[in-house]
Every structure is written in C-alpha cells, then in structure tokens.
C-alpha cells in the first residue's frame, strides 16, 4: 500500500472526499481500541453502537471496492495505544503516507499530533462534517469569553441561507420559543409516538467486551435499539419528520412518567447518527425543511426550534470547546468538590424526577435535553458535585457523548463551572420548574410545595442555599436580581429553616 488512512469511530462519513475514488493502493484502517474504551467508563449500549457502526462502515467501504482492515479488540490488545498501533501497521504495509481526519476530541488530536513514523509522511484533513469552518473558530469564539448563542445562530442562518426569505427570517421572527415549551396534558400523552428502534444483534460485541474485561455502565441489551448505519439513520430522520416534528418544539421541554414506552417523546434521537457522522447536519436540516414545505399543517415554530438545535447549539458548543481547550477541561468556577452519589449508577433515589431521568439514561443510554440539563444537571449544580465527576458520568452514559459536545453542555451549560462562557447565569431551578414541566411531583416521596423539613422537595432548599451562597457572583445579573428581593423579603426564621434543610441533605446525599 502507498497510503494508510485512519478512520476513527466517530468519523463514519461515507460522503467524505476520501471515498470518491477507489484506489487499491490506499488501505483504510478502522480499529476497536482499548484506550477508547477505558479513558472513561462507557454505557454498554454506547460501545455496542460505536463498534457496530464501525464494522458496518468497514463492510460498506469494502463492498464499494475500497481496501479496508477492521481490527477488533482481539487484534489491538497488544498495542500500548493508538500511536503504537499506527506505527506497526504503517510499517507493515510499507506505506509512505499516513492520513487521518482531524479528531473532534482534543485528547485524540493531541495524541495524533505526537505521532512519529519512520518512513511515512503524516497528513491531517478535515472531516467535512460541520457547517462552521474549523479555522474560523478562534475569530468567532474568543477564548474565555461569552458569546451569545442566539447571535451566532442568526449569523449561521444568514450565512447558509437557512429558513430565510431574502434577508428576513421565515415567519418574521428568528426564534419561536415563546410559542413552545408546553407541558404534556393527558390527551397529548395518548398520542405520543413510539420510538423507532432497530434491534441489531450485538451478542458478539458483548462477549468481546467481557473477554477483554472492559468495564461498562448501564443496561445491556443483546439487540441494540440505536441506528448503526446510514440507511437506518436516514430512516430515523424520516420517522422524526413524520411523527415527531409536528409537535417537536411545543413539547421540547416536557417530561412525563406515564407511558414509559414512549420515552423519547417528540425528540429525534439523531444525536448518535450525527455525532458518529453517519449523517450530516445539513442533510438533517434540509430534510426537516423539505418536510415542512410539503406539509403546510406543520408550524414554523416546530421547525425553527429544531433547526436551532443543530445549526445553532451544536455548532456553537463545538466552537466553545475548541476555543477554550485544554483549559476548559479543568475550570471549576464555583469550586464544587462533592462526589457523585451511587444512585447515578443504579437510579434508586426517592426523588422521583431524578429517579426517572437516571433510570432512563441507564436503560437506554439516552435522556432528552431537559432531563440532562434541568433534572440531572440541576441536581449536580445545586449539590456542588465536582465537575470532573459530572463530566465523566455524562461522557460515559449517553450514546451520543463525545467530549466536544458533552463538555460545554455539562461543565458550561449545566454546572456553570466555566464561570459564564456558555451561559450568563446558571440554569439553577427549584422543584417548581420540574413541577411545571412534568408529572413527576404528584407521586414523589417529597412534597413539592414544602421548602424545609425532611419531607420537603430537596431541590427547593438546595436551590435557595445555592442562590444565597453565590449571591456576590450572581446578584449583578438583572435576570436574577428580582429573585434576591423575594429571598430578602422572606422571614428570617423561614430562611434559616430552608438553609438548615439544605445542609442536612448535603450531609446525606446518598440517602435522598
Ligand atoms: P433533539 O432534541 O431531537 O435535538 C436535535 C439535535 O440537536 C440533537 O441530535 C443534537 O445533535 C442537537 N442538539 C440539541 N441540543 C444541543 C446542545 N445543547 N448541544 C449540542 N447539540 C445539541 N449532546 C450530544 O450530542 N452529546 C452529548 O454528550 C451531550 N451531552 C449533554 C450534556 C448535558 C449536561 C446537556 C444539558 C446536554 C447535552 N447534550 C449532548 C445536548 C442534548 O441534550 C443532546 O444533543 C440531545 O438530548 C440528543 O437527543 P436528540 O437527538 O433526541 O435531540
Ligand atoms: Fe423532583 Fe421535588 Fe418533584 Fe420530587 S417533588 S419529583 S424531588 S421536583
């Protein structure tokens, strides 16, 4: 072989320029790596999804005439790490050129830039996946500074001419969130769509993980529900357009414990397909907009809300990540130091909201944004869990978790550990937010209306303790100043009881 090209597990982009020509002198290498399965403990379904998708990609490339070598954990076990493996295979094939696509994770980019090959030149190319060019990130996202997502998103809408009529946004508004964010009523719950699940047999992978002693978390399933190739990803996209898009924005923030079979509500569950690059952000956006044009009953509010997640948030967090790494991985602005309670690994807590969000994450390697942000993330924020602990858990548990997208969402958006780079204020909330958006509180062990005492919703006291403790840092934010007036007008004895309750909870986090 003249050239060896590495394909990482999240670089399964069949549309990449690399594959436009078949060259028998080019060998594609796809490898199940020990280092990738042990840098953090992953959900077992996440590993199965990546390994299955990698193997499928390899066989599709082979069927198209490319030369491919797929290495399993059995083949790679004797190599110390990725670079050692590459040194061996590039030498073994006699290649004079080694190429890789720029990894989206800082850790892997740093590792590959250290690669030294005796007889081959090394070349790095773009993944051709994201809309926002990598080399413009530094200009758009100044290091350590806040950049408003909404402004970035509007620039992206204009730049890529998405949902625009000339220079104006379709529908006359950039953002339709005021029309969205409703709670699910019982009649809405009856019509929730059942998630489309696939069922690929992963028994071999499970056996391989066991054979190699790879530690995992979450519920294993011999039949994987996640899409593992481009065809299935496109099927899921089509399913989303037909059954979920019409109500996507309206119920985007809602949560329910009724009908657990409809666990992903109106969400797309396309994040794994997108992050593994089986499908591109632009084709998802285009498919959704085409479906909107073909179906006049779908409102712009639903479509705009979805496009914003992909064209706005997804591209934005990638920018924040690259502009601020590697420092971002260690910032802890609120100096949080607690350990994650054990129920993060089994879901058994008396807090009904947390129980549902954790159990669903462990059962399906998935939770929707508000479960991640306002239930699990909010709990970790208010209880001051160390960001390293929280990051590790999020990076492991979700099928779509890759550091570039996980970290700004967790450390930045959920924990405010970046001191305001992603958001200008923490997304801290008491139990009343959860009560507003879900049906969890009615059957909870704790009482949502109480703020102090053993039976009170723990989030109520923890919230006020958090706000009280961080007053100096937060009080300047006009959106928060009003809350402090409510707190100041509360009777001293009531405040003391609330703060004492919060301290009791913090002292006994494992028992909540
Ligand atoms: P939908 O609700 O259907 O949204 C469509 C798509 O928009 C998603 O597939 C995703 O690609 C994109 N998107 C939506 N919100 C965001 C966001 N905040 N950041 C980036 N992309 C977004 N997303 C990941 O892909 N990987 C992660 O590891 C991850 N970790 C998160 C951790 C926390 C604490 C929080 C609050 C959010 C995290 N997110 C992460 C963002 C978001 O929650 C998931 O992308 C979404 O829940 C995936 O489900 P879905 O495909 O059904 O999304
Ligand atoms: Fe969660 Fe509090 Fe509601 Fe219980 S009462 S479900 S702990 S918000």
Model confidence at 179: pLDDT above 80: no
The binding-site residues of ligand 1, defined as CB within 6 angstroms of any ligand atom, are 267-271, 274-275, 309-310, 313-314, 317, 368-369, 372-373, 377, 394, 398, 400-401, 405-406, 409-410, 413-414
In degrees and rounded to multiples of 5, residue 338 shows phi and psi of -70, 160
CATH value at residue 174: 1.25.40.80
Mean pLDDT of 11-29: 97
Mean pLDDT of 161-189: 89
- Which ligand 2 atom is the nearest neighbour of the CA of 430? 8
Residues 172 and 24 grouped into a single domain: no
> What is the reported pLDDT for 185?
86
Cα angle 423, 426, 431 (rounded to 5 degrees) comes to 140
For residue 437, the ligand closest to its alpha carbon is: 2
> What is the reported pLDDT for 481?
82
> What is the reported pLDDT for 35?
87
Residues 78 and 170 grouped into a single domain: no
Model confidence at 503: pLDDT above 80: yes
> What is the reported pLDDT for 10?
98
Residue 330 lies in a domain: no
Residues 313 and 174 grouped into a single domain: yes
Pocket test for ligand 1, best of 405, 408, 415, 428 (most atoms within 8 A of CB): 405
> What is the reported pLDDT for 187?
80
Residue 223 lies in a domain: no
The binding-site residues of ligand 2, defined as CB within 6 angstroms of any ligand atom, are 351-353, 431, 434-435, 440-441, 444, 446, 448, 457-459
Model confidence at 260: pLDDT above 90: no
Model confidence at 330: pLDDT above 90: yes
Residues 26 and 109 grouped into a single domain: yes
The last residue of a domain, from among 86, 103, 125: 125
Q: Are 125 and 7 within 8 A, CB to CB? A: no
- Which ligand 1 atom is the nearest neighbour of the CA of 377? 34
Q: Are 189 and 259 within 8 A, CB to CB? A: yes
> Which range of residues forms the domain containing residue 362?
342-511
The last residue of a domain, from among 96, 125, 154: 125
Residue 295's contacts (CB-CB under 8 Å, 6 or more residues apart) are 246
* Separation CA 390–CA 329 (nearest Å): 12
**Segment 207-247, tens digit of pLDDT:** 999 999 999 999 999 999 999 999 999 999 999 999 999 99
- Of the pLDDT bands very low, low, confident and very high (cuts 50, 70, 90), residue 475 is confident
* Separation CA 62–CA 67 (nearest Å): 6
DSSP secondary structure letter of residue 374:
I
> What is the reported pLDDT for 308?
97
Q: Is the Cα torsion angle 380, 381, 385, 391 positive or negative in sign?
A: positive
Residue 334 lies in a domain: no
* Separation CA 275–CA 12 (nearest Å): 9
Residue 207's contacts (CB-CB under 8 Å, 6 or more residues apart) are none
Closest residue by Cα to residue 188 from 268, 270, 258: 258
Residue 337 lies in a domain: no
Kindly list the distances between the CA atom of residue 145 and the CA atoms of 424, 428, 455, in Å, as whole numbers in the listed order: 10, 21, 42
- Of the pLDDT bands very low, low, confident and very high (cuts 50, 70, 90), residue 190 is confident
> What is the reported pLDDT for 483?
87
Residues 302 and 432 grouped into a single domain: no
Q: Whose CA is nearest to atom 2 of ligand 2?
A: 457
Q: Are 58 and 70 within 8 A, CB to CB? A: yes
- Of the pLDDT bands very low, low, confident and very high (cuts 50, 70, 90), residue 288 is very high
Mean pLDDT of 372-391: 98
Residues 273 and 387 grouped into a single domain: no
Q: Which residue has the higher pLDDT, 247 or 38?
A: 247
Q: Is the Cα torsion angle 395, 401, 403, 409 positive or negative in sign?
A: negative
Residues 284 and 403 grouped into a single domain: no
Tell me the average pLDDT of the chain. Answer: 95
Residue 336 lies in a domain: no
Residue in the block written with tokens 């958001």: 423
Residue 335 lies in a domain: no
Mean pLDDT of 60-65: 97
> What is the reported pLDDT for 474?
85
> What is the reported pLDDT for 37?
81
pTM: 0.96
**Residues paired with 98 in a beta bridge:** 4, 122
Q: Are 404 and 104 within 8 A, CB to CB? A: yes
> What is the reported pLDDT for 186?
81
Q: Which residue has the higher pLDDT, 259 or 163?
A: 163
* Separation CA 466–CA 426 (nearest Å): 10
Residues 119 and 145 grouped into a single domain: no
> What is the reported pLDDT for 442?
94
Q: Residue 117 is encoded by which pair of tokens? A: 């090959």
> Three-state SS across 126-162?
CCCCCCCCHHHHHHHCCCCCCCCHHHHHHHHHHHCCC
* Separation CA 359–CA 6 (nearest Å): 36
* Separation CA 260–CA 333 (nearest Å): 37
Model confidence at 180: pLDDT above 80: no
Strand pairing class (164-165; 168-169): antiparallel
Residue 222 lies in a domain: no
Model confidence at 21: pLDDT above 80: yes
Q: In angstroms, how far is CA 379 from the centroid of its own chain?
A: 17
Residue 117 lies in a domain: yes
Q: Are 74 and 30 within 8 A, CB to CB? A: no
> What is the reported pLDDT for 361?
97
Residues 43 and 153 grouped into a single domain: no
Model confidence at 436: pLDDT above 80: yes
Residues 146 and 121 grouped into a single domain: no
CATH value at residue 501: 1.10.579.10
The last residue of a domain, from among 324, 351, 386: 324
Q: Residue 415 is encoded by which pair of tokens? A: 């924990």
> What is the reported pLDDT for 258?
87
> What is the reported pLDDT for 168?
94
Q: Whose CA is nearest to atom 7 of ligand 2?
A: 351
Residues 141 and 115 grouped into a single domain: no
End-to-end Cα separation, the chain, in angstroms: 60
In angstroms, how far apart are the furthest CA atoms of the chain? 79
> What is the reported pLDDT for 126?
98
> What is the reported pLDDT for 11?
98
Q: Are 47 and 214 within 8 A, CB to CB? A: yes
Model confidence at 94: pLDDT above 90: yes
The structural domain count of the chain equals 3
Residues 93 and 179 grouped into a single domain: no
Q: Are 32 and 212 within 8 A, CB to CB? A: no
Q: Is the ipTM of this complex over 0.90?
A: yes
Mean pLDDT of 114-127: 96
Q: Whose CA is nearest to atom 50 of ligand 1?
A: 269
């Amino acid at each position: 072989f003249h050239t060896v090209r590495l394909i990482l597990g999240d670089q399964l982009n069949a549309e990449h320029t690399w594959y436009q020509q078949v060259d028998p002198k080019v060998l594609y290498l796809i490898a199940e790596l020990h280092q990738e399965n042990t840098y953090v403990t992953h959900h077992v379904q996440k590993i199965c999804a990546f390994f299955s998708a990698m193997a499928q990609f390899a066989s599709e490339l082979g069927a198209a005439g490319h030369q491919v070598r797929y290495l399993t954990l059995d083949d790679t076990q004797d190599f110390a790490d990725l670079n050692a493996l590459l040194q061996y295979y590039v030498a073994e094939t006699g290649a004079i050129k080694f190429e890789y696509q720029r990894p989206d994770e800082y850790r892997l980019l740093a590792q590959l830039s250290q690669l030294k090959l005796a007889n081959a030149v090394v070349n790095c190319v773009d993944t051709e996946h994201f809309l926002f060019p990598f080399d413009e990130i530094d200009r758009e996202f100044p290091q350590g500074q806040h950049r408003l997502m909404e402004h970035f998103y509007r620039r992206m809408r204009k730049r890529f001419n998405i949902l625009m009529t000339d220079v104006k946004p379709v529908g006359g508004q950039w953002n339709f969130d005021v029309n969205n964010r409703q709670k699910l009523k019982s009649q809405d719950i009856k019509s929730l769509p059942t998630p489309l699940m696939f069922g690929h047999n992963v028994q071999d992978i499970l056996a391989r993980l066991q054979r190699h002693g790879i530690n995992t978390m979450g519920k294993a399933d011999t039949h994987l529900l996640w899409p593992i190739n481009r065809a299935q990803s496109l099927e899921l996209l089509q399913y989303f357009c037909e059954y979920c898009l019409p109500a996507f924005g309206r119920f985007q923030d809602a949560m329910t414990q009724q009908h657990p079979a409809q666990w992903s509500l109106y969400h797309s569950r396309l994040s794994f397909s997108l992050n593994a690059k089986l499908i591109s952000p632009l084709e998802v956006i285009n498919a959704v907009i085409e479906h909107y044009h073909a179906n006049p009953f779908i409102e712009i509010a639903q479509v705009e809300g979805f496009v914003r997640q992909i064209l706005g948030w997804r591209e934005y967090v990638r920018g924040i990540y690259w502009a601020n790494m590697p420092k971002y991985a260690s910032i802890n602005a609120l100096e949080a130091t607690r350990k994650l309670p054990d129920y993060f690994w089994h879901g058994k807590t008396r807090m009904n909201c947390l129980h549902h969000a954790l159990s669903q994450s462990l059962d399906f390697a998935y939770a929707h944004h508000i479960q991640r942000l306002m239930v699990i993330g909010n709990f970790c924020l208010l209880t001051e869990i160390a960001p390293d602990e929280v990051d590790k858990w999020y990076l492991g548990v979700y099928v779509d978790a890759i550091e570039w997208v996980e970290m700004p969402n967790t450390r930045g958006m959920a924990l405010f550990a970046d001191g305001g780079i992603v958001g200008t204020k923490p997304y801290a909330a008491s139990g009343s937010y959860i009560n507003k958006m879900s049906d969890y509180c009615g059957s909870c062990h704790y009482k949502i209306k109480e703020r102090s005492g053993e039976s009170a919703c723990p989030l109520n006291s923890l919230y006020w303790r958090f706000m009280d403790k961080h007053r100096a840092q937060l009080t300047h934010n006009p959106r928060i100043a009003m809350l402090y007036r409510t707190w100041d007008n509360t009777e001293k004895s009531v405040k003391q009881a609330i703060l004492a309750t919060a301290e009791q909870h913090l002292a006994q986090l494992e028992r909540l």
